[in-house]
Amino acid sequence: MPFTDPNVDDLRRQSKSFAAIARYNAGSDAVAGGSEPVRTTVCAASADFFRVLGVKPFRGRLFSAAEGAVEDEGVVVSHGFWQQSLGGQSDLEDASVRLEDHRFPVVGVLPPGMEFPPNVEVWFPASIYPKNPYRTAHNWSVVARLRDEISRGEARAEIATIAQELKKEYGTQTDAFNFGLAPLRERMVKNVRCLLLVLGGAVVLLLVIACSNVANLLLVRATTRRKEIALRAALGASRWHLLRQFAAETILLILAAAALGVLLALWGVPLMLSLYHGNLPRVGQIGVDSGVLAFTLGISLLLGFVLALVPALRVSSAGLQADLQEAGRSSSGGTASSRVRNLLIISQIAITLMLLIEAFQPTRVE
């Protein structure tokens, strides 16, 4: 359950395991003062909140080092809110917003990608609320940063002891009888981690299908060019010359397809995100990743190079005449090539059926 103000204060005083402890509470509220009034997600946070998260301002500053007078505090906005509602103005001196019946100066802008709690656009000081003295008013979530020399197990044992002592001291005046501890990343993705792993596996299988399909097409193309390959070899072309020719052709084809794929990704990812209205954690950070593009391009180039070896390695002085005679009669290819192509087709069908079966399984994301 969320924390009460007295429990947070006791945890801060008694705990030795944390470098900083912060309380926060997010919810929807109206924010005025930008280009137009908006209703968005805002977060009341204590002064140590950004220190706990290790966040540095993109522009301006963050909350002051200690919780003090409301008049000395301002709000911190997300990078997106700064661009859309405040026009991306570089000078924040005249920027202000009205929130919770207070007029706050905008003192800082957070870097792109800062999304904790999820979907929050404006962070304002929790000090505008007077502390509730009751230990049954559970109003705050708590986030903390472990000291470097402290393990999770040690911190978990310490806060459990603190909770038990508070329960003994205050009895029925407090609801909490234990405090839990969980890594922030694990807490944020616990409901979707399994689904994301399955989705990642499906993407890998889809890449295998695509590579198999390309491999099949290139093998068919090489088979239909057996007569051409035999003629080139008979005229003196070495395996190295044939390898360079087929590698160049394949790589050009792959690069053209990669360019088209990147364009489709740049267009399709924002479109899918605009159609998504769920609560997937950190959905704002989903985009076209350069590392993923480099990996898939490397796999594709490696596949193209390996397939370029096939026609070059098949060249032999003993088989030149046979290839010329057989290619003149038929372009269907040898038995070995047919078996490889059939194996690739069977593999594609099997993997595709696996993906279809998994895609139609009911899935719930909380």
- Sequential pLDDT tens for the chain (366 residues): 789 999 999 999 999 999 999 999 999 888 887 778 888 899 999 988 998 998 888 988 887 655 444 445 788 999 888 888 888 888 888 888 888 788 888 888 999 878 788 888 999 988 888 888 888 889 899 999 999 988 989 999 999 999 999 999 888 888 888 898 888 887 777 767 777 788 888 888 888 888 778 777 777 777 777 777 777 777 777 777 777 777 788 888 888 888 898 898 888 888 887 777 666 666 767 788 888 888 888 887 887 777 777 666 655 544 555 555 554 454 445 555 677 777 878 888 888 888 788 777 665 544
Q: Give the three-class secondary structure for 2.
A: coil
**Can you give the residue ranges of every domain in the chain?**
5-181, 189-359
Give the 3-state DSSP-derived string for 54-105, with helices as H, strands as E and coil as C. CCCCCEECCCCCCCCCHHHCCEEECHHHHHHCCCCCCCCCCCEEEECCEEEE
Q: Give the three-class secondary structure for 141.
A: strand
Do you find a cis peptide bond into 112, omega within 30 degrees of 0? no
CA distance linking residue 296 with residue 318, whole number of Å: 39
Strands 120-125, 75-77: parallel, antiparallel or unpaired by DSSP?
antiparallel
Residue 9 phi, psi dihedral angles, 5° rounding: -65, -40
CA distance linking residue 343 with residue 216, whole number of Å: 9
Per-residue pLDDT at 110 = 92
Per-residue pLDDT at 69 = 45
Structure tokens at 8: 């947070």
Per-residue pLDDT at 291 = 86
Strands 96-99, 120-125: parallel, antiparallel or unpaired by DSSP?
unpaired
Long-range contacts formed by 256-264: CB under 8 A, 24+ apart? 257/300, 258/296, 258/297, 258/300, 262/288, 262/293
DSSP lists the bridge partners of residue 75 as 106
Tell me the angle at which helices 226-234 and 193-224 cross, rounded to the nearest 10 degrees: 60
Q: What is the pTM of this model?
A: 0.63
Cβ neighbours of residue 90 closer than 8 Å, sequence gap 6 or more: 59
Per-residue pLDDT at 143 = 93
CA distance linking residue 109 with residue 59, whole number of Å: 5
Buried b (16+ CB within 10 A) or exposed e, 186-223: eebeeebeeeeeeeeeeeeeeeebbbbebbbebbeebb
CA 270 and chain centroid, separation = 14
DSSP lists the bridge partners of residue 97 as 104
